[in-house]
């Protein structure tokens, strides 16, 4: 029986995209293949987290001073290993490593890309069966091919990203990645072990009904942020409401939902965390890139996220991200020079 419709796997899709670029080397598709492979391995472990002894806290502290869960370590090792043993990445930085790692073998040194990732975001949700995810970001290195990568390769503003993406390990497992050409989503078909194109050319609706924020922190937010949030709670139909509040506590799932349905996600600065909680390089930049390519906007409340020049690898930033109309409506969503 003939199959009625061509189903593109992640590999087929990235290779087909290459044909639009006669000078492309295929390195980016190689890198995405390595990421997809690591994601499949992590997916298997995340799915059996409730069964295996792997569930629970490893008891160590990461560089952010937070407790590390065992699955964080597993995911970190899988992504590090897949990229190190591949030939498409010259070095990595991860939320779980203190410093970047330069791959010194000849093939890796010849690669033009570096990768930053948060191997398992939202890991406090693992114990309670809530979706978690991986976030990644790809840059062209600044140092010459053949050399060992250096700190500056990892401290580029988000606007220089070549690609960014995330994986949600949820009711189904989906890998979404963006290049400047568009955002596409691939759902893992467990029967064949392949990511298959399921969400082509994702666009973030300009207007949405959802806002996502940790309300428990409300009295720790700046007044203008509180006023911004109150608007969503007290609105009338004339103001475009009513709005719905949704906050899982896994930004990968929260932003994935808002990207598809339309909405705004916020993690503002608080009195106890004046720089915000989320990491500019591992969390804010990749999502800002994806959401902007999909037609949305992302700021830190004053400035476009993608224009911020990072001063250090593990820098934090407030984040406001989502549908363009919702972001533009309030000054927090616009770019304000200070
Ligand atoms: P993590 O990298 O330690 O998992 O923290 C990041 C997560 C985000 O996924 C989520 O949006 C946020 O932390 C939730 O934080 P809070 O519990 O303070 O609302
Ligand atoms: Mg994280």
What CA–CA distance (Å, rounded) separates 284 from 291?
10
Torsion from C-alpha of 18, 182, 195, 81, nearest 10 degrees? 70
Overall average pLDDT of the 107-112 stretch: 94
Q: Considering only residues 309 and 54, tell me which one the structure prediction assigns the higher pLDDT.
A: 309
pLDDT band at 330 (very low <50, low <70, confident <90, very high): confident
Are 153 and 129 within 8 A, CB to CB?
Answer: no
> Is pLDDT above 60 for 33?
yes
Of 259-263, 283-287, 328-332, the one with minimum mean pLDDT is: 328-332
Q: Which one-letter DSSP state was computed for residue 165?
A: E
Closest C-alpha among 116, 113, 46 to residue 86: 113
Is the confidence at residue 57, as pLDDT, over 70? no
| High-pLDDT (> 70) share of the chain, % | 89
The predicted model gives 58-70 an average pLDDT of 65
115 Cβ partners below 8 Å, 6+ apart? 31, 35, 83, 89, 91, 92, 93, 136, 137, 138, 139
Q: Measured from the CB, is residue 81 less than 6 Å from ligand 1?
A: no
The mean-pLDDT minimum among 50-54, 58-62, 117-121 falls in 50-54
Q: Which atom of ligand 1 is nearest to the CA of 254?
A: 11
- Pick 10-199's CATH classification: 3.40.1360.10, 3.30.540.10, 3.40.640.10, 3.40.50.620: 3.30.540.10
Contact present, 164 and 181 (Cβ < 8 Å) = no
Cβ–ligand 1 distance for 239 under 6 Å, the answer: no
| Residue with CA nearest ligand 1 atom 6 | 122
What is the three-class DSSP state of 163? strand
Residue 235 in this model has a pLDDT that exceeds 90: no
Ligand 1 pocket test: pick from 267, 268, 279, 282 the residue with the most ligand atoms within 8 Å of its Cβ.
Answer: 267
- Is the per-residue pLDDT at 240 higher than 90? no
Whole-angstrom Cα distance, residue 107 to residue 274?
A: 42
What's the pLDDT tens digit per position in 254-281? 999 999 999 999 999 999 999 999 999 9
The whole-number pLDDT of residue 21 equals 78
Q: How confident is the model at residue 16 (pLDDT cuts 50, 70, 90)?
A: confident
Q: How far is the CA of 267 from the centre of ligand 1 (A)?
A: 9
Query: What is the model's pTM?
Result: 0.93
Q: Give the pLDDT of residue 253.
A: 96
Q: Does domain 210-337 have CATH number 3.40.190.80?
A: yes
Instruction: Indicate which atom in ligand 1 lies nearest the CA of residue 133.
Output: 9
Q: Which DSSP string corresponds to 59-127?
A: EEE-TTS-EEEHHHHHHHHHHHHHHHHSSS-SEEEETTSSS-EE--SHHHHT--EEEEEEEEETGGGGG
pLDDT bin (cut points 50, 70, 90) of residue 128 is: confident
Per-residue pLDDT band for 58 (boundaries 50, 70, 90) equals low
What is the biggest distance separating any 2 CA atoms in the chain, rounded to whole angstroms?
A: 64
Q: What would the two tokens of residue 196 be? A: 């298959």
In this predicted structure, the answer to whether residue 180 has a pLDDT above a threshold of 90 is: yes
Domain boundaries, the chain: 10-199, 210-337
Domains 10-199 and 210-337 fall in the same CATH topology: no
Question: Of 107, 88, 100, 93, whose CA–CA distance to 146 is shortest?
Answer: 107
pLDDT of residue 123: 83
Q: Which of 133, 128, 137 is nearest to 164 (CA)?
A: 137
Q: What is the pLDDT of residue 125?
A: 85
pLDDT of residue 88: 94
Pocket-testing residue among 277, 280, 316, ligand 1, by greatest number of atoms within 8 A of Cβ? 277
CA–CA separation, 43 and 296 (whole Å):
29
Which tens digit of pLDDT belongs to each residue from 200-227? 999 999 999 999 999 999 999 999 999 9
Separation in Å, CA 335 to CA 114, 275, 311: 29, 18, 20
């Amino acid at each position: 029986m003939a199959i009625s419709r061509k189903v593109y796997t992640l590999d087929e899709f990235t290779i087909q995209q290459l044909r639009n670029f006669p000078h492309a080397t295929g390195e980016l598709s190689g890198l995405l293949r390595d990421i997809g492979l690591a994601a499949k391995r992590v997916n298997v472990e995340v799915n059996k987290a409730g069964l295996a002894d792997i569930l629970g806290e490893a008891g160590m502290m990461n560089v952010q001073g937070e407790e590390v869960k065992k699955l964080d370590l597993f995911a970190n090792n899988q992504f590090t290993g897949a990229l190190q043993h591949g030939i498409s990445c010259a070095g990595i930085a991860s939320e779980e490593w203190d410093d970047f790692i330069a791959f010194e073998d000849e093939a890796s040194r010849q690669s033009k890309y570096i990768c930053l990732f948060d191997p398992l975001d939202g890991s406090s949700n693992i114990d309670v069966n809530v979706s978690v995810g991986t976030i990644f970001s790809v840059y062209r290195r600044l140092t010459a091919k053949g050399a060992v990568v250096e700190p500056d390769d990892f401290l580029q503003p988000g606007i220089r990203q070549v690609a960014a993406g995330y994986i949600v390990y949820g009711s189904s497992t989906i890998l979404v990645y963006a290049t400047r050409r568009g955002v596409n989503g691939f759902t893992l078909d467990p029967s064949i072990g392949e990511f298959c194109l399921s969400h082509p050319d994702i666009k973030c609706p300009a207007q949405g009904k959802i806002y996502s924020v940790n309300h428990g922190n409300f009295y720790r937010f700046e007044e203008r942020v509180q006023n911004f949030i109150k608007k969503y709670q007290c609105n009338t139909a004339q103001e475009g409401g009513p709005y719905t509040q949704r906050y899982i506590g896994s930004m990968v799932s929260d932003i994935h939902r808002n990207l598809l349905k339309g909405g705004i996600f916020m993690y503002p600065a608080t009195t106890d965390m004046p720089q915000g909680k989320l990491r500019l390089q591992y969390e804010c930049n990749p999502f800002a890139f994806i959401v902007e390519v999909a037609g949305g906007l992302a700021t830190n409340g004053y400035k476009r996220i993608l224009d911020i020049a990072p001063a250090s690898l593990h820098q934090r930033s407030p984040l406001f991200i989502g549908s363009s109309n919702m972001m533009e409506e309030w000054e927090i969503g616009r770019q304000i020079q200070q």
